A and B are shown apart, each in its own frame.
Chain A
Amino acid sequence: MTMPTTGLPSAEVTRPRTVLVGTMFASAASMMVFFGVLLVYITERAQARALHRDWFPEGRIELGPSGFVFATLILSIFTVRWAVQAINNDDRPNTFVALGLSGLFGAAVFNQLWFILNDVGFALAGGTGQFMFFMVNGTFIVFMIAAVAFIFLTFLRGLIGHFGPQKAESVAAAAFYWNTVVTMWFIAWYVIYVTK
């Protein structure tokens, strides 16, 4: 027997913001993966220091190149925000320029990280410190790839006309995930490159 529900007012259709909510959950999960790796790094480093062992070879980690990554990502925060603002104003050309610039900054970050990973001269099997250096940076790179792919797909969907001021949610979701990944670098930068 099906219970009657026809006597009640019809449900009002509201925009569910599903993509944004899903992205928030995905961002939380991504951040926890990153924290999982970073906490092992911090713990191992604390143990090495307590036992007066070397963590990194002296002078191999420089602040300059990682600072450029930091600066690039700061700029990208503005460009993703620009994309969200533009799509809300139905300004499609500005949206594409902003998304394109964000993707370009992402490519620049990959280039800078490639330089850093080669410049330090570490080996994966060169000790726990060097291994964890690669693990933290590698985890960040994986999520950076995801964020760039998200931006790229949003850009493509915008090109084929999926977005407008009433359907700006995917751009906001891509921007949210981007900012999550940028936050990861800020934390990694402080823990690895500043405090070493």
Chain B
Amino acid sequence: MTMIDSPPATAQATAVSSPAAAGLYDFLATTDHKRIGRIWLTAGVFALIGAVVLGVLLGLERLDSGGLDIFAGENPHFQIWALYRFGLALLVVAPLFIGLATVIVPMQVGSTNIAFPRAALAAAWGFLIGAGILVVAVAAGGGWGAVDRATPRELDSIALTLVGMGLVVVSILLASLCLATTVVSLRVKGMTLLRTPLFAWSMLVTSAVWLLTLPILLANLAIAYVDLRGGPGTFTGGVDGSTAIFTQLEWLVEQPQVYSFAIPALGILGSIVAVSAGVRPSRHGLSLGLIGFFGLLSIGGWSQPFFQFDPGANVAYDEKFVFIAFGLLAIVPVLASFAPVADSLARGRDNLGGSPPAHLLGALAGALLLSVGAAAGVARVIEPFRLGGRITVSGVMNLVLLGAVVSAVAGIWFWSAKIGGRTLSPLMGRLAILDLVGGALLLGGAQAISGFLETSDDPRVPVVEDAADILSIVSLVGAVLVALGALGVLAAIVSALRSGRTTEADPWGGHTLEWATATPPPAGNFAEAPGLVMSEAPLLDAREQTSAEGEDS
């Protein structure tokens, strides 16, 4: 991969005028990071619509878990349930953040392009192909095991599911490699790691965590695939009547690994709040440290039953000290991240108008959802509650991943001028975000509470207590609200694209280098070389310098 790439772009100013679209070839073979990022973002938004529809259907099914009316059988129900979980993480949250970062991070660090642009493009197309294979394979009767006896065609579909998921994971890894290398290698002169913008830093941490953990998922997938195709059946349970493949992979969407998909939410929070408040970021170094600490606590490849080293000890992996410690500590950096945010908001309260802009609302709400999810995660690891295997696990996942979605939506609203040269409707943004947040709280919150009523996480197991039925209705209402919010996001994007109106280069008074580019940014990004970066807010420095020179003269 690295050998066929063109020499990496450096921080030199090599802007060229944006060429007109040169047809299909240009679309397929572009090496402009902004176009590659838009492929990821488009995929993520459409996958979000698909995921929320599945969420509503699963919520309806939960209302009468004994009947299994919608999915016509236990096996389709189980596979769709698993597809929703893996899909929300791998097909929705990951592409949204990767797309946002592919567009924004190179500009934030002052580079003319992403590192290894051809590899980044290959990752984007590989992701689309892998996601397509994955969804088609599940629709064709595949999935992550077979609850009842599998036909030969279903066995082929299960194998195809593993191939599709593997391709998705490889694509995410390749994109992560490009992003991490961009932040490490292509920063403009003067931008030390301690001066790296928070979003770029959060994507570096996320990429590093994914590069260290998703390969383990790839190993799990390889073992399951080979076992299915000719192995002894140890890891697939012989497939028939077994969900062993899902058991092998589910650590991806359980804590602590699920938190890795929400790390950029903290970067987006810090980036947006300081700009919205119009003040210099508060305690930038502390924010970097907290994001790094949260990343450390989200490394979760080890937390799977297949890595238990003491088979005679009879202690489940989720009852072990490290798992419990990670669960208890994860909330600390999330809550602590609110301290610099609160300070920035307090210092800039005079700059904040009446109703908060959609991106500020979204950034705060996304981090709030993450906090609630992390709090539910704390309850999950407290042994007397015995919430392992209960629906609280799904509640934590929904709160954290939907919090990440809300943060990504906030990022799209904030950086829309750089993504597509448009400003998205603030009103539609506020409505969509409120829908998403309210829905996520109802959906994830009801599930988190329902776990205390001994409701199983397995969708095939009927609820134990009547009160859990009421919580199932609440979570269904939440799923519907989330779906409406997702549709609102899509409607706002379509509306902005149809309006055809471009916006100014820096509509928010940004602090970091992406706001020094034109809107939409040209190929090569910068009309002239970014100056020597002296702090984490170089444009604020320039503005203050201009202001001081004006006063002197």
Which residues on A are within 8 Å of B, measured CB to CB?
1-14, 16-19, 21-23, 25-26, 28-37, 39-40, 42-44, 46-47, 50-51, 124-128, 130-131, 134-135, 138-139, 150, 153-154, 157, 170, 173
**17 cross-chain CB contacts under 8 A:** A4-B542, A5-B538, A8-B538, A8-B541, A8-B542, A11-B529, A26-B1, A26-B177, A29-B173, A31-B215, A32-B215, A33-B222, A43-B306, A43-B308, A44-B234, A125-B233, A135-B226
Chain A proximity mask over B515-545: 1 for CB below 8 Å, otherwise 0: 1111000000001111110100011011101
A17 with B311, Cβ < 8 A, contacts A5-B530, A10-B531, A29-B211 known: no
Q: Contact between A9 and B116 (Cβ–Cβ < 8 Å)? A: no
Q: Contact between B173 and A18 (Cβ–Cβ < 8 Å)? A: no
Chain A proximity mask over B464-481: 1 for CB below 8 Å, otherwise 0: 000000000000000000
Beyond known contacts A3-B506, A44-B234: 4 more, CB 8 A cutoff: A22-B181, A26-B1, A29-B173, A131-B226
Q: Which chain A residues border B545 with CB–CB below 8 Å?
A: 7-8
Q: Contact between A25 and B177 (Cβ–Cβ < 8 Å)? A: yes
Q: Contact between A8 and B532 (Cβ–Cβ < 8 Å)? A: yes
Q: Which chain B residues border A39 with CB–CB below 8 Å?
A: 306-307
Q: Contact between B531 and A46 (Cβ–Cβ < 8 Å)? A: no
B18 within 8 A of A: no
CB distance from A17 to the nearest CB of B (A): 6
Q: Contact between B542 and A173 (Cβ–Cβ < 8 Å)? A: no
Q: Contact between A16 and B186 (Cβ–Cβ < 8 Å)? A: yes
Q: Which chain A residues border B211 with CB–CB below 8 Å?
A: 25, 28-29, 32
Assembly CA distance A22 to B188 (angstroms): 18
- Nearest opposing residue in chain A for B119, CB measure: A22
**The 9 A-B residue pairs with the shortest CB-CB distance in the complex, in nearest-first order:** A8-B531, A36-B219, A32-B215, A18-B8, A36-B216, A16-B185, A153-B3, A33-B215, A11-B189
B504 within 8 A of A: yes
Q: Which chain B residues border A19 with CB–CB below 8 Å?
A: 2, 5, 8
Assembly CA distance A52 to B483 (angstroms): 53
Q: Contact between B505 and A2 (Cβ–Cβ < 8 Å)? A: yes
A43 with B309, Cβ < 8 A, contacts A32-B212, A131-B231 known: yes
Assembly CA distance A21 to B186 (angstroms): 11
Q: Which chain A residues border B309 with CB–CB below 8 Å?
A: 42-43, 46
Assembly CA distance A9 to B534 (angstroms): 11
Q: Contact between B180 and A25 (Cβ–Cβ < 8 Å)? A: yes
B10 within 8 A of A: yes
Question: Which chain B residues numbered 179 to 234 have a C-beta less than 8 Å away from chain A?
Answer: 180-181, 184-186, 188-190, 207-208, 211-220, 222-223, 226-227, 230-234
Partner of B185, one of A2, A21, A126, A150: A21
Question: Which chain B residues numbered 223 to 252 have a C-beta less than 8 Å away from chain A?
Answer: 223, 226-227, 230-235
Q: Contact between B531 and A36 (Cβ–Cβ < 8 Å)? A: no
Q: Which chain B residues border A25 with CB–CB below 8 Å?
A: 176-177, 180-181, 207-208, 211
Q: Which chain A residues border B312 with CB–CB below 8 Å?
A: 50
A14 with B231, Cβ < 8 A, contacts A8-B531, A46-B309, A170-B3 known: no
Assembly CA distance A19 to B177 (angstroms): 11
Q: Which chain A residues border B4 with CB–CB below 8 Å?
A: 153
Q: Contact between B2 and A22 (Cβ–Cβ < 8 Å)? A: yes
Assembly CA distance A186 to B532 (angstroms): 46
Assembly CA distance A2 to B214 (angstroms): 39
A3 with B516, Cβ < 8 A, contacts A37-B219, A37-B223 known: yes
Q: Which chain B residues border A8 with CB–CB below 8 Å?
A: 531-532, 534, 538, 541-542, 545
A5 with B542, Cβ < 8 A, contacts A11-B531, A22-B177, A26-B177 known: yes
Q: Contact between A135 and B222 (Cβ–Cβ < 8 Å)? A: yes
Which of A8, A17, A138 has the largest number of chain B CB atoms within 10 A? A8
Q: Which chain B residues border A33 with CB–CB below 8 Å?
A: 215-216, 218-219, 222
Q: Contact between B188 and A11 (Cβ–Cβ < 8 Å)? A: yes
Q: Contact between B529 and A131 (Cβ–Cβ < 8 Å)? A: no
Q: Which chain A residues border B308 with CB–CB below 8 Å?
A: 43
- Nearest opposing residue in chain B for A48, CB measure: B311
- Nearest opposing residue in chain A for B177, CB measure: A25
Which of B2, B516, B539 has the largest number of chain A CB atoms within 10 A? B2
Partner of A21, one of B184, B220, B222: B184
B141 within 8 A of A: no
- Nearest opposing residue in chain A for B187, CB measure: A16
A9 with B531, Cβ < 8 A, contacts A3-B506, A36-B301 known: yes
Q: Which chain A residues border B495 with CB–CB below 8 Å?
A: none
B110 within 8 A of A: yes
CB distance from A126 to the nearest CB of B (A): 7
B115 within 8 A of A: yes
Q: Contact between B232 and A131 (Cβ–Cβ < 8 Å)? A: yes
Q: Contact between A11 and B530 (Cβ–Cβ < 8 Å)? A: yes
- Nearest opposing residue in chain A for B188, CB measure: A11
Q: Which chain B residues border A131 with CB–CB below 8 Å?
A: 226-227, 231-232, 234
Partner of A125, one of B12, B188, B213, B231: B231
B11 within 8 A of A: yes
Q: Contact between B2 and A23 (Cβ–Cβ < 8 Å)? A: yes
- Nearest opposing residue in chain A for B220, CB measure: A36
Q: Which chain B residues border A43 with CB–CB below 8 Å?
A: 306-309, 311
Q: Contact between B546 and A7 (Cβ–Cβ < 8 Å)? A: yes
